[in-house]
């Protein structure tokens, strides 16, 4: 990473809001190339990424922000590559879904 200053966003995630690639990069304390690579590898979802539109026009949902922050954190903390980090995040997301299902079943009784 070069010596550029990256402002880190904090606040409440709102489902209807979308972020630009620059906002995503700042919120995750990474460079835009990091985001671009993860989208190209299929590890991070972009709402409108196509081969024909400019990266500056890409928009990311709040769920992508949460996933990107987790990916970046795992990569930094454990010096993991992108694919391993994505696998860990996938498993964390699956565990969260299963816990919600268990809680819903218990609440229905």
> For 22-79, how does the pLDDT look when each residue is reduced to its tens digit (9 = 90+)?
999 999 999 999 999 999 999 999 998 876 788 989 999 999 999 999 999 999 999 9
CA distance 2 to 19: 23
Rounded (5°) CA angle 98-84-5: 105
> Over the stretch 30-42, which tens digit does the pLDDT of each residue have?
999 999 999 999 9
The hierarchical CATH code for the domain 18-108 is 1.10.1660.10
User: pTM for this structure?
Assistant: 0.81
- Give residue limits of the domains in the chain: 18-108
């Amino acid at each position: 990473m070069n010596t550029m200053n990256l402002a880190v966003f904090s606040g409440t995630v709102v489902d209807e809001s979308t972020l630009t690639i620059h906002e995503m990069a700042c919120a995750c304390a990474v460079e835009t190339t990091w985001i671009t690579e993860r989208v190209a590898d299929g590890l991070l979802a972009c709402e409108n990424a196509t081969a024909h539109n400019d990266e500056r026009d890409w928009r990311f949902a709040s769920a992508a922000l949460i996933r990107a922050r987790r990916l970046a954190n795992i990569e930094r903390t454990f010096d993991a590559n992108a694919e391993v980090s994505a696998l860990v995040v996938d498993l964390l997301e699956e565990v969260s879904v299963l816990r919600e299902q268990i809680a819903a079943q218990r609440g229905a009784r």
